[in-house]
Structure 1
Amino acid sequence: MSSPYGPQNAPAGDVGAALLMIDSRLRSIHSGKTETDPEQQELINQFAASLGPGGADDLLDGACTLIYMFMTWLRKAHEEHDKNVIEYVVPSLVTTLRRMPKSIRPEAVPTMAGLVIAAGTGLSPNLWRKQYGDWTKAEMTPLEATAFLLAEQINRITEDPDFATRMISEALTSADRS
């Protein structure tokens, strides 16, 4: 039975821009920098300012599409080992988000867990979230952190620090060819 929250009903958004932001965070972490490079942060700020009226919504939808794609990959990887992706991904995600109280407000953690569970069960994270109202400013950093943490988990599983980014880039390239 088809759900109104299925990915086929969701806008993909600007996946490329969302991937650019996540890849930028991954690279800064792997370079050993504990703080965001001021020049990099300025570029991100300029990019965000250039989005225009619908650009922020496209970026949000793109981040949710990344979460969906990452969870789809993680679900398939876990199923190959007869494991439940929700059981193995959500607890570590929640624990990590809770360890970031300066960036992630505690009330955002259940929403991020819900997004990941929705994606892990084949639902669109952005449509699942929209049923509860508009996104809040307080959810932006947790959303980015959630996408980042899922990408990082994929990279650790594959033992390849660029796997998650490359996987999405290849999917985007093959979609453009279609």
Structure 2
Amino acid sequence: MSSSCDPRYAPAGDVGAALMVIDSRLKAIYDGTTGTDPEQQQLIDQFTASLGPRGASDVLDGACTLIFMFMKWLRMAYEDHDKDVIECVVPNLVSTMRMMPKSVRPEVIPTMAGLLVAAGTGLSPSLWRKQYGDWTADEMNPLEATAFLLAEHINRLADDRDFASRMIVDALSNSGQD
């Protein structure tokens, strides 16, 4: 029986734009930049303002697609070692988010954990979240943080700072060939 949260029913969104935001955050952290570079933040703000409501929604769906793809890769990686992705990833990310009170308000952590569990069990994070209403402004930073933390987790596992981004770029390139 098919679920209403099956990923084939979910819009992929603007995965490229979502990846650009996550990749720029990763590079800033890896380069030792503390906080957000004001010039970089201004560029992101200008980009976001230029999107309009439909474009912003597409980037939001793109971030959910990233979360799904990252969790799918992590699920396969952990299963290769007879481990459960939810058991290995969700508590780690939740505890990390709890240490980020300026970016991630405590009341949205359960939603982000739910997104991770949905993706970890093969459901679309965006369709799972849609069941509970529209996204809130308070969920935007935590959503970005969730995608960022997953990408960073993958990069650490692969011992390659660009692995997660390269994996997505390769998947996007291959999907265009089909």
Summarize deviations over 1:59-97 as a string: whole Å, max 9, x none: 110000000000000000000000000000000000000
The one-letter code sitting in structure 1 at the alignment partner of 2:88 is Y
1:53 is displaced (CA, Å) by 2.4
The one-letter code sitting in structure 1 at the alignment partner of 2:55 is G
Structure 1 segments of 4 or more deviating over 6 A? Answer: none
The one-letter code sitting in structure 2 at the alignment partner of 1:126 is S
In the alignment, which residue of structure 2 is the partner of 1:75?
75
In the alignment, which residue of structure 1 is the partner of 2:142?
142
1:23-172 aligned within 5 A: 23-172=23-172
Structure 1: distance between partners of 2:79 and 2:148: 22
Structure 2: distance between partners of 1:53 and 1:4: 25
In the alignment, which residue of structure 2 is the partner of 1:21?
21
In the alignment, which residue of structure 2 is the partner of 1:5?
5
1:156 is displaced (CA, Å) by 0.3
1:162 is displaced (CA, Å) by 0.2
Gaps of at least 5 residues in structure 2 are none
Taking every aligned residue pair, what percent have the same amino acid on both sides? 70
May I ask how many residue pairs the two structures share in their alignment? 178
TM (norm. structure 1) is 0.99
The one-letter code sitting in structure 2 at the alignment partner of 1:31 is D
TM (norm. structure 2) is 0.99
